[in-house]
Amino acid sequence: MEHFTIATVAEQSADFRRVLWTGKHSQLVVMTIPPGGEIGEEVHEDIDQILSFVSGTGEAIVSGQTRKVVAGDLVVVPAGRTHNFVNTGKNPLILYTVYGPPEHADGAVHATKEEADALEEAGKDEPPTA
């Protein structure tokens, strides 16, 4: 059994993305988006994603609809939907997300968005195969 005090774990990670746990059907990831930063517009064709916001303020943009997000909010992004999350505040936007099935390499740590993008482009951030 894995156990996390998830808000605390998320707030203690300064990394853009850190994979905490990967299972056969889902994956738990914490993210820290710096002020003025964003995840970047993307689509996961075969992956559902649930994002829960721990601290900071931002905008969720899903399928062209924009909503403000704050601590305590949860956003569901069904597979195939274009989405982006932008930090609109002065402090980091901290969240945890669950992918189903996994999206990133097990144990992946990306200190910055630029590092994450480079690894994804090089094909070095692939989820485990079943």
- What's the domain count of the chain? 1
126 part of a folded domain? no
64 part of a folded domain? yes
16 part of a folded domain? yes
> Residues in the chain, how many?
130
Question: What does the H/E/C string look like for 72-102?
Answer: CCEEEECCCCCEEEEECCCCCEEEEEEEECC
22 part of a folded domain? yes
Q: What is the pTM of this model?
A: 0.90
Which domain does 75 fall in, by range? Answer: 6-121
The whole-angstrom separation of Cα 91 and Cα 111 is 17
Of 93, 106, 99, 89, the residue nearest 21 (C-alpha): 106
130 part of a folded domain? no
- CATH classification at residue 71: 2.60.120.10
Helix (H, G, I), strand (E, B) or coil at 110: strand
The string of pLDDT tens digits covering residues 39-85 is 999 999 999 999 999 999 999 999 999 999 999 999 999 999 999 99
73 part of a folded domain? yes
